[in-house]
Amino acid sequence: MSVIMTKEGKPFETEQAASTRRGVLKKNNVITTVVKVEGGYALEKAKPEKVRVPMHESRRLRFPQREGYHRHVFNDDKKTNRIQRALDAGYTFVTEDVEGRDPRAGDASRIGKNTSQHVGDGMIGFLMEIPQGTYDDDQKAKQATINNQEAEIRRDKKPSDEGLYGGVKVEHGRM
């Protein structure tokens, strides 16, 4: 239990004095209640309510976007070589100081370094970017592959297609 008293560490003499201090704290978003204690009154800090964070929003890294570019955080996973694959695909490291980055980014030792963020389990994610046009072209190519696969799934089967029978219906849409 966190109790707030006067600057001298003594209880407030009156309930009104405690209430006045409560109002000042409330302006600073500190929620308290007046409680009776030995020798007067004090303020008890309210326990902060636990805020529910839906799974799809938890631990998401957020960085500001840059006009004309698509930004993405790539984990420095040596097993999958994600950073090298991103570099080979045309991504470049973001080196500017951006909000949401590693808190040490302003340190002299971090100036001119790649923007990074600890992502858990000892892994570091690096903010990288690619021109928006290149990203859009990649997404169109990816969608074309998906469209071809779906077309193959949906195509009508002929009696000559040995071992193939039945039909498939593919619908797109979200709930």
Residue 67 tokens, joined = 């006009």
Find the mean pLDDT for residues 100-129.
66
Could you tell me the pTM of the whole model? 0.51
CA distances for 140 relative to 123, 130, 133, 147, 162, angstroms: 31, 15, 11, 10, 33
Per-residue pLDDT reduced to its tens digit, 11-21: 999 999 999 99
